[in-house]
């Protein structure tokens, strides 16, 4: 379709799951994509898939909780592709535990990956977007950023922060023509969801079956969420900022 022809995007957590699906979709729509992740093998595989399909992509190793790595991703993306128009702050982790069972180190890790990363990536991206006339930042929240969930206190806290960070950033950077929006996926069939099952000691098939109990009667796919990211990345959402879009098959509807 070429909806993003001539645009450049960074996708954090791009080696798997929602990040992988989104990197591939943005590239298919014409964007050059920087895939940022700790997983070099998975990230390079995504880059190869994009290139084999005729797109442009590069892998950049990145621990999104570290300032130097985030700066490097931005610098290498601009050096490779000459600009920067879209940032998908997607990297995330989950720890299924209540406040008593969560260690301080686990709390810090979840906050570092889920919240601090958005602060750091945006800190280095915004000046380049502003100098280039604007851009789009999309943050990955969660349904549990809007309502509470059991045995996931650090995750719920982090995703609630992401939702309100999005609104604050939209206010701050709207005058620079930088739109900042948030997607809140429901349970999606990714390795992270299967890892939740292991943390809770449940068989994958039982956990995923329960996750499908929602009005649309199925679990989400990474591609479902990627389509929502594409909407915010492109011109179709040119007058939309500070928005929170729930993509969960109706899970929060009632």
Tell me which fold the domain 8-185+225-245 belongs to. Rossmann fold (3.40.50)
Residues with a known catalytic role: 155
Give Cα separations from 59 to 2, 65, 68 (angstroms).
22, 17, 16
Q: What pLDDT does 243 receive?
A: 98
Cβ neighbours of 41 (radius 10 Å): 9
Which residues of the chain fall below pLDDT 50?
Answer: 1
The owner of tokens 């014409």 is: 30
pTM above 0.85, yes or no: yes
Q: Which among 241, 221, 226 has a CA at the least distance from the CA of 13?
A: 226
**Number of C-beta neighbours around residue 151 at 10 A:** 16
Cα–Cα distance list, 253 to 142, 148, 172, 212 (Å): 14, 14, 30, 14
Q: What is the pLDDT of residue 2?
A: 59
Distance from C-alpha of 63 to C-alpha of 105, rounded to nearest angstrom: 16
Residue with tokens 């040119």: 238
CA distance 106 to 48: 33
Q: What pLDDT, on a 0 to 100 scale, did the predictor assign at position 1?
A: 47
CA angle 13, 15, 17 (to 5 degrees): 80
Query: How far is it, in rounded angstroms, from Cα 167 to Cα 160?
Result: 11
Backbone angles phi, psi at 90, to 5 degrees: -110, -25
| Domain-wise residue ranges, the chain | 8-185+225-245, 186-219
Which residues contact residue 127 at a Cβ distance below 8 angstroms, ignoring those fewer than 6 apart? Answer: none
């Amino acid at each position: 379709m070429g909806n993003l022809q001539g645009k450049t995007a960074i996708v954090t957590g791009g080696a798997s799951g929602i990040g992988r699906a989104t990197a591939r979709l943005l590239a298919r729509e014409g964007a050059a994509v920087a895939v940022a992740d700790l997983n070099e093998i998975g990230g390079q595989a995504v880059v190869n898939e994009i290139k084999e399909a005729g797109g442009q992509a590069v892998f950049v190793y990145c621990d999104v909780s570290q300032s130097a790595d985030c700066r490097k991703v931005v610098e290498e993306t601009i050096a490779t592709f000459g600009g920067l128009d879209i940032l998908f702050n997607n990297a995330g982790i989950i720890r299924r535990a209540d406040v008593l069972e969560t260690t301080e180190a686990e709390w810090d890790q979840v906050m570092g990956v889920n919240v601090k990363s958005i602060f750091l990536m945006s800190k280095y991206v915004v000046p380049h977007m502003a100098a280039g006339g604007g851009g789009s930042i999309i943050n990955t929240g969660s349904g549990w950023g809007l309502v509470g969930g059991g045995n996931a206190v650090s995750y719920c806290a982090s995703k609630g922060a992401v939702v309100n960070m999005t609104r604050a950033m939209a206010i701050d950077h709207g005058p620079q023509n930088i739109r900042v929006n948030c997607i809140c996926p429901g349970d999606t069939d990714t390795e992270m969801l299967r890892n939740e099952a292991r943390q809770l000691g449940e068989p994958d098939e039982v956990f995923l079956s329960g996750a499908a109990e929602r009005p649309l009667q199925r679990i989400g796919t990474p591609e479902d969420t990627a389509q929502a990211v594409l909407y915010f990345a492109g011109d179709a959402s040119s007058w939309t900022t500070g928005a929170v879009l729930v993509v969960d098959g109706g899970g929060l509807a009632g």
